[in-house]
């Protein structure tokens, strides 16, 4: 059981972050924000995938104005990504953003920072301090010689002080780097230096495969240590994939469950059916199910019965196409796939189990 770091709780719209709240999963749109239709469509796709929070870039006045049209059409809270120009932050807060992603040190003078903070206060808007190894302040680079964890944490603490000096505490912090070791070291130091909620991620991690691996290693280490209140997987891929990977990381650590967790073997000469093809089709067919459950698909009797003991539904390959089905760890029935599809049979069982779980939830609420 992972013991999470104790942090303050803040709110991003109606979504709690930190404290004893579930670790939230978020992503960012890559459409032109001024293309309102495309941006709304992408946010809705992220909502379907399970996104708790979505960030939208506001590089110009037209983009921050577009938020006024976008936000009423979606259900997740929207974070406005602001860089350099303080007016964008004010406009985003006025136009309904639930959170502003800023670096207080790069949006102008103290008076301008004060205006942005006041806009956040007036519009019940939280703030994310976003420190990135690739955009550290010049004086810190001169002091440390290069981006490093110490420089990143000093930058974060500097920005924290600015917000605290303006009596603003409804904020979270990120301290990202594309280097896994640098990011992990920075987050570990920052976790000890403050109790604000932490937005965890490995920035600019790469494409779908390489970025997933880097994110799983870096974020997995931090989450395993109890560090992290909200996460964003940064991939050069469809943003929906970021949400899927984010939930898979949390599921693998037992921190949050959404959808079906498929446990399957890599297959070998002992397999009694085509495991790889079966699992590929099965995962696609049950992707729409959000009810948490586990399903084991094992090709032979070496590990199959043992894995089935720990899953909601299990299938262990048997000879002559005669496979054993388990429910809740107990033998349920035999299934012969001579003329039938293994996938069809398992999908039917998974959907029935999901309906049963959801019905029990409803009954518990009614009681």
pLDDT digits (tens, 9 = 90+) for 249-259: 999 999 999 99
Dist. CA 90–CA 218, nearest whole Å: 34
The last residue of a domain, from among 222, 252, 282: 252
Is 51 part of a structural domain of the chain?
yes
Dist. CA 65–CA 160, nearest whole Å: 28
Is 128 part of a structural domain of the chain?
yes
Closest CA to 54 of 82, 84, 32, 74: 74
Is 1 part of a structural domain of the chain?
no
Q: What is the pLDDT of residue 284?
A: 94
Q: Which residues contact 34 (CB under 8 A, 6 or more apart)?
A: 62, 63, 66
Q: What is the pLDDT of residue 71?
A: 98
Specify the pTM: 0.92
Indicate the pairing of strand 99-102 with strand 78-81.
parallel
Q: Which residues contact 67 (CB under 8 A, 6 or more apart)?
A: 33, 56, 58, 78, 80, 91, 92, 95, 96, 97
The last residue of a domain, from among 252, 271, 301: 252
Residues of the chain with pLDDT > 90, as a percent, come to 88
Q: Quick one: 66 and 135 in the same domain?
A: yes
Token digits of residue 308: 């089935």
Residues of the chain with pLDDT > 70, as a percent, come to 98
Q: What is the pLDDT of residue 106?
A: 73
Q: Quick one: 66 and 203 in the same domain?
A: yes
Residue 350 sits in a domain whose CATH number is 3.30.413.10
* Selected residue with higher pLDDT from 78 and 322: 78
Q: Quick one: 206 and 63 in the same domain?
A: yes
- Does 366 score more than 90 pLDDT? no
Closest CA to 91 of 128, 62, 127, 54: 62
- The contacts found for 107-111 with CB under 8 angstroms, 24 or more apart, are 107/82, 107/83
Q: What is the pLDDT of residue 105?
A: 66
Residue 159 contacts residue 103 (beta carbons within 8 Å): yes
Q: Angle at CA 17, nearest 5°, toward 197 and 239?
A: 100
What's the total number of domains in the chain?
2
pLDDT digits (tens, 9 = 90+) for 64-89: 999 999 999 999 999 999 988 899 99
Q: Quick one: 267 and 190 in the same domain?
A: no
Q: Which residues contact 17 (CB under 8 A, 6 or more apart)?
A: 9, 10, 11, 24, 53, 126, 172, 197, 199, 229, 230
Q: What is the pLDDT of residue 84?
A: 81
Burial of 360 (0-12, 13-18, 19+ CB in 10 A): exposed
Residue 164 contacts residue 119 (beta carbons within 8 Å): no
Closest CA to 107 of 58, 152, 71, 145: 58
Is 224 part of a structural domain of the chain?
yes
Q: Quick one: 142 and 286 in the same domain?
A: no
pLDDT digits (tens, 9 = 90+) for 334-356: 998 766 799 999 999 999 999 99
The last residue of a domain, from among 252, 268, 288: 252
Q: Quick one: 118 and 159 in the same domain?
A: yes
Q: Quick one: 118 and 162 in the same domain?
A: yes
109 pLDDT band, cuts 50/70/90, is confident
* Domain coverage including residue 300: 260-366
Q: Quick one: 119 and 40 in the same domain?
A: yes
10 pLDDT band, cuts 50/70/90, is very high
- Does 325 score more than 80 pLDDT? yes
Arithmetic mean of pLDDT over the chain: 94
Q: What is the pLDDT of residue 367?
A: 65
Angle between helices 208-224 and 180-193 (to 10 degrees): 30
39 pLDDT band, cuts 50/70/90, is very high
Partners of 336 in beta bridges: 322
Q: Quick one: 157 and 215 in the same domain?
A: yes
332 pLDDT band, cuts 50/70/90, is very high
Is 2 part of a structural domain of the chain?
no
Strands (E), 31-123: 53-57, 78-81, 99-102
- Does 104 score more than 80 pLDDT? no
Q: What is the pLDDT of residue 339?
A: 60
What mean pLDDT is predicted for residues 166-187?
A: 96
Is 349 part of a structural domain of the chain?
yes
Q: Quick one: 113 and 62 in the same domain?
A: yes
Is 49 part of a structural domain of the chain?
yes
- Does 215 score more than 80 pLDDT? yes
Residue 76 sits in a domain whose CATH number is 3.20.20.20
Q: Is 197 in a helix, a strand, or coil?
A: coil
What mean pLDDT is predicted for residues 37-59?
A: 97
Radius of gyration of the chain (CA): 23
pLDDT digits (tens, 9 = 90+) for 111-130: 888 899 999 999 999 999 99
Q: Quick one: 216 and 350 in the same domain?
A: no
Q: Quick one: 264 and 199 in the same domain?
A: no
Is 4 part of a structural domain of the chain?
no
């Amino acid at each position: 059981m992972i013991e999470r770091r104790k942090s303050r709780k803040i709110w991003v719209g109606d979504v709690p972050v930190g404290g004893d709240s579930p670790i939230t999963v978020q992503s960012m749109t890559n459409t032109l924000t001024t293309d309102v239709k495309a941006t709304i469509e992408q946010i809705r796709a992220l909502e379907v995938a399970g996104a708790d929070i979505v960030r939208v870039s506001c590089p110009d006045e037209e983009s921050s104005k577009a938020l006024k049209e976008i936000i009423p059409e979606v259900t997740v809270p929207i974070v406005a990504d602001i860089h350099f120009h303080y007016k964008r932050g004010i406009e985003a807060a006025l136009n309904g953003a639930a959170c502003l992603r800023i670096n207080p040190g790069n949006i102008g003078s103290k008076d301008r920072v004060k205006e942005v903070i006041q806009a956040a206060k007036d519009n019940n808007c939280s703030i994310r301090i976003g420190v990135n190894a690739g955009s550290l302040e010049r004086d810190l680079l001169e002091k440390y010689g290069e981006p490093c964890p110490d420089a990143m944490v000093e930058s974060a603490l500097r920005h924290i002080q600015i917000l605290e000096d303006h009596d603003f505490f409804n904020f979270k912090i990120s301290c990202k780097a594309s280097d896994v070791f640098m990011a992990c070291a920075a987050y570990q130091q920052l976790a000890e230096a403050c109790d604000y909620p932490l937005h965890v991620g490995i920035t600019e991690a790469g494409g779908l495969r390489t970025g997933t691996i880097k994110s799983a290693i870096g974020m997995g280490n931090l989450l395993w240590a109890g560090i992290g209140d909200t996460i964003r997987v940064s991939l050069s891929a469809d943003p929906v994939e970021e949400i899927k990977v984010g939930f898979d990381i949390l599921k693998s650590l037992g921190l949050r469950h959404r959808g079906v967790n498929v446990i399957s073997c890599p297959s070998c000469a002992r397999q009694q059916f085509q495991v790889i093809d079966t699992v590929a089709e099965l995962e696609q067919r049950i992707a729409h199910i959000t009810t948490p459950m586990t399903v084991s698909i094992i090709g032979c009797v070496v590990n199959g019965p043992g894995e089935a003991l720990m899953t909601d539904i299990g299938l262990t390959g048997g000879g002559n196409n005669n496979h054993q089905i388990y429910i809740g760890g107990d033998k349920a029935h035999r299934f012969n796939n001579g003329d039938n599809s293994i996938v069809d049979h398992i999908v039917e069982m998974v959907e029935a189990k999901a309906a049963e779980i959801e019905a029990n939830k409803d009954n518990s609420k009614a009681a």
